[in-house]
Amino acid sequence: MDLQCFQITMQKGWALLEMARPDKLNVIDETVLTELETILQHFKEEQVKAVVVTGQGKAFAAGADVRAMADMDCQAAKQFSALGNRVFQAIEDHPAVFIAAVNGYALGGGCELALACDLRLASEQAAFGQPELNLGIIPGFGGTQRLPRIVGTAQAKEWIFTGKRFSAQEALGSGLVSRVLPPEQLLLAATELAEELAKKSGPILTLAKRAIAASGTGVSPSHGEQEANFFSKCLATEDGREGLRAFVDKRDPIFKDR
């Protein structure tokens, strides 16, 4: 595979998947999502049992590409949100177990990528957040659906409505991550967990993953379609366009409630 945005290290029964654009803080754009979709199919073909997802540099993934979104109309925004939802849903539905090793910023789309994974481990330096409302939009890659299921509705509303960043310890307290580790121990812990899972029966791991999703903790594709519709409506408002443009211009947005 000729990849621009990722680096894959295949191991016996498991794989390390690194977002490899540290100079861009591993921002998520259409190219990233398209490559990720291809990688997920590759992992299926190779019958990978576990995947560790992490980011190179100081960010896990610092969000979606705001510069690109600032130039989108409603239809383009809906297509972008639908693509992100489809790819992240494919992670949730994938036969392999996905382990997010959150090494730094996991904001916006980056946080949503972590949410789509089955397990999340965090560095003490990790920071989480869904800051989209500060830009005049809403989470568009599954955040409005997965975050309430993982941390509870009340906590998710605070995270999404305020757009604040939360520390690794706060993420641990909310149940978003299962472990917080010193930075130098994070990847080792995640890969050890992947190695342990790779010793299990692949079909049984998949059945366990599907059974847990059937308990009501999973997200259906129809939920992603609804989120994409709401996301696209943000770009039909003056405030939505203002928030994105203000971010690109590196200034505070002036919202007019219309």
Which residues sit opposite 182 in a β-bridge? none
Given a cut of 90, is residue 225 above it in pLDDT?
Answer: no
- What six digits make up the tokens of 208? 């366990």
Q: Going by C-beta distance under 8 Å and a sequence separation of 6 or more, which residues neighbour residue 125? A: 103, 104, 168, 183
Arithmetic mean of pLDDT, 111-135: 96
Given a cut of 80, is residue 222 above it in pLDDT?
Answer: no
Selected catalytic residue, list 18, 35, 92, 112: 112
Confidence (pLDDT) at 97: 98
Please, which pLDDT band fits residue 120 given cuts at 50, 70 and 90?
Answer: very high
Concerning whether 124 is annotated as a catalytic residue, the answer is: no
pLDDT tens per residue, range 49-68: 999 999 999 999 998 888 88
Arithmetic mean of pLDDT, 228-239: 83
Please, which pLDDT band fits residue 244 given cuts at 50, 70 and 90?
Answer: confident
Please, which pLDDT band fits residue 101 given cuts at 50, 70 and 90?
Answer: very high
Confidence (pLDDT) at 229: 81
Confidence (pLDDT) at 218: 67
How far apart are alpha carbons 206 and 208 in whole angstroms? 5
Confidence (pLDDT) at 72: 86
Q: Is the Cβ–Cβ distance between 204 and 110 less than 8 Å?
A: no
List the end-to-end C-alpha distance of the chain, in Å, as a whole number.
46
- May I ask the CATH architecture of the domain 1-183+201-258? Alpha-Beta Complex (3.90)
Confidence (pLDDT) at 147: 96
Concerning whether 112 is annotated as a catalytic residue, the answer is: yes
By DSSP bridging, strand 50-55 and strand 97-102 are parallel
Please, which pLDDT band fits residue 126 given cuts at 50, 70 and 90?
Answer: very high
How far apart are alpha carbons 17 and 225 in whole angstroms? 27
Count of CB atoms situated within 10 Å of the CB of 15: 21
Selected catalytic residue, list 18, 35, 92, 132: 132
The pTM of this model reads 0.92
Residue 149: Cβ-neighbour burial (10 angstroms; 0-12, 13-18, 19+): middle
Please, which pLDDT band fits residue 253 given cuts at 50, 70 and 90?
Answer: confident
